Amino acid sequence: MSREPPSGKRLRKSLSHVGGAARFSGDERLRALLERAATPGDEDERALTHGFHPWPGRLHPHTARELIAAAPPGLIADPFMGAGTVPLEAMLAGRAAIGNDLNPIGVEVAWVRTRRFSPAALSALVARAKAVTKKADRLVADGARVEPGFQDRVGRWFDRQALVEVWAHARCLAEGDPAWPGSPGDPLTRVLRMALSSILVKASRQVSDSVAKLDRHEPAPSPPGRIGHWLRKRVSELAGQLGALSERVEREVPEPILRLGDARVAPEGAPPIAAVVSSPPYPGVYDYVTHHALRCAVLGFETGAITAHEIGSRRASERLGKAVAHARYVEAMGAVLASWTRTLAPGGFVALVIGDGQIGTNVVRVMPLLERAAEASGLAVRAIVSQARPTFGPARGEGRGAHKEEHLVWLEPPRLVAK
């Protein structure tokens, strides 16, 4: 039975969005923990490297931090790590972690956010950024022409000046330079590629990171040198953030293992997992392959795996229809949960931030789907904190009106559930 918070009590900034009062249901012994995890205070959610790269629907660092702190000794795992919030927070907590994502941009961003560089390496990074922008600006000034393939892939997303500058910077990073040891595959170039990724949507005509459509309003022309200026500024900020991260994390704490792959298949040979802390795809809400298509096209990342294996995508949900889309979502999430909890340590748990979806005008209630997936994988829902979320446009829903809900869900193997 769901229970409202005590009269007058409001949970603010719950889960991943700002919202109103939250409902709790389940094991009362978990209530304080979940309400605390679901209620960020006024801390800076962009601290350290958390704010380095835009990411739609990312998990709030506070939520990840509180859940990690509740885990028994052992490995922290996130099969849907996105840009790496959970691996980073595990590292800050002194914990070993493994993160997985199907999106190569996410894996690369997570790699950057969790690296420890020496002061000398960070100075070299800033110098490398200046060298890259100088080289790219020279290409532009000399009248170099954008390669036809690049023009075909991304030309419509940029005005003329921004396009040639983006192309020049991407080309310089892809080609490397004999003066840069190990380039173009060295760590500093790898960081710079993600620094360029972080400013691409801002420099483009894409509406936003979460709306991958052309802006109908004609933007003001880009001034010459803007891309290089933004890149140098971003790298300078990042160098300070990475320096602060290195000072915060003890030397003996390992950098997390980061894996590009389908979440339905956990890595072989991993040590026992203390907790799975993650935010899986909400059914029918996002198309991450679309959100990051521009970045992948500019930087040369393949998107075939995301297109084929992305779970709960909006495009697949709309194409398949309600019954088939729901069945596939349950099957996929069941496989994820079963795979990643196969080596769950004693006292281990799964904590998920997950929300209702929307297919057309129909709200998709995620909890019945998650409960079916959990049962199929040998897990049981013990407690939930839920909060209302707005729908997009006119919507119909089953129960609780037409609004959606977002949930922080705690799951465990049935043997751990109190009788």
Residue with tokens 């959610």: 45
CB 263 within 8 A of CB 80: yes
Segments of 175-329 assigned E as strands? 257-260, 273-278
Q: What is the pLDDT of residue 415?
A: 59
pTM of the entire predicted model: 0.90
Q: Which amino acid type is present at position 52?
A: F
Question: With pLDDT > 70 as the criterion, what percentage of the chain qualifies?
Answer: 91
- Most confident region among 106-120, 312-326, 392-406 by mean pLDDT: 106-120
pLDDT digits (tens, 9 = 90+) for 83-134: 999 999 999 999 999 999 999 999 999 999 999 999 999 999 999 999 999 9
Q: Boundaries of CATH 3.40.50.150 in the chain?
A: 22-104+258-288+314-416
Element (H, E) at 124: helix 119-141
Instruction: Write the class of the CATH domain 22-104+258-288+314-416.
Output: alpha beta
**Span 313-318, mean pLDDT?**
82
pLDDT digits (tens, 9 = 90+) for 29-73: 999 999 999 988 777 777 899 999 999 888 999 999 999 999 999
CB 371 within 8 A of CB 314: no
| Cα–Cα dist 12/38, whole Å | 9
Mean pLDDT of the chain: 89
Q: What is the pLDDT of residue 313?
A: 84
Handedness of CA 279, 57, 107, 94 (dihedral sign): negative
| Cα–Cα dist 190/198, whole Å | 13
